[in-house]
Amino acid sequence: MAEWLFDRHGSPRIILDDDCVRSASGRVVGWISGDGLFSVTGRHIGWYEGGVIYDNRNRVLGFTYDASGHLPSRPGTSGTPGIPGLSGRPGRPGLSGISGRPGYAGWSDISLTDYFKTD
């Protein structure tokens, strides 16, 4: 089931669609496998745990409404828009190995939407 991921300001920015990460318009921008977060091409770029997405330095990028993972602070969440119509998924690439995970840190200095714009 698809749900919104909120940024550090509590605004819905990215859609989590099972193991698929999508932009607000529904475009596939990443993948989740186990606790690993991967780019659209399969490169390891962070972690996903308890409804929280972490960057490659283990800093928080975003969270689901009912997240139970580590958050440095929990902002209030704004109203959520409806989920747009989602197209079929592209073939999932081979996923790289997962690097060692550092200790938890605060909020990432990169915005949730910008994090998925590069690969």
Pair 65, 100: CB distance under 8 Å:
no
Look up residue 107 and give its two tokens. 């909020």
| pLDDT digit string, tens, across residues 67-97 | 999 999 888 887 788 888 888 888 888 888 8
Q: Which of 15-19, 28-32, 81-85 has the weakest average pLDDT?
A: 81-85
In this prediction, residue 118 has a pLDDT band, given cuts at 50, 70 and 90, of: low
**Selected residue with higher pLDDT from 93 and 19:** 19
- Neighbouring residues of 14: CB distance < 8 A, sequence distance ≥ 6: 4, 5, 21, 22, 23, 24, 29, 53, 62, 112, 113, 116
Interior angle at CA 71, CA 36 and CA 50, nearest 5: 40
Confidence (pTM): 0.88
Instruction: Give me the residue spans of the domains in the chain.
Output: 2-115
Say which DSSP state 107 is in: B
pLDDT given for residue 96 in this prediction = 84
Pair 16, 6: CB distance under 8 Å:
no
Residues of the chain with pLDDT > 70, as a percent, come to: 98
Report the pLDDT averaged over residues 57-72.
Answer: 94
- Half-sphere exposure in the Cβ direction for 19 (13 Å, CA): 13
pLDDT given for residue 89 in this prediction = 81
pLDDT given for residue 44 in this prediction = 95
Pair 31, 19: CB distance under 8 Å:
yes
- Neighbouring residues of 114: CB distance < 8 A, sequence distance ≥ 6: none
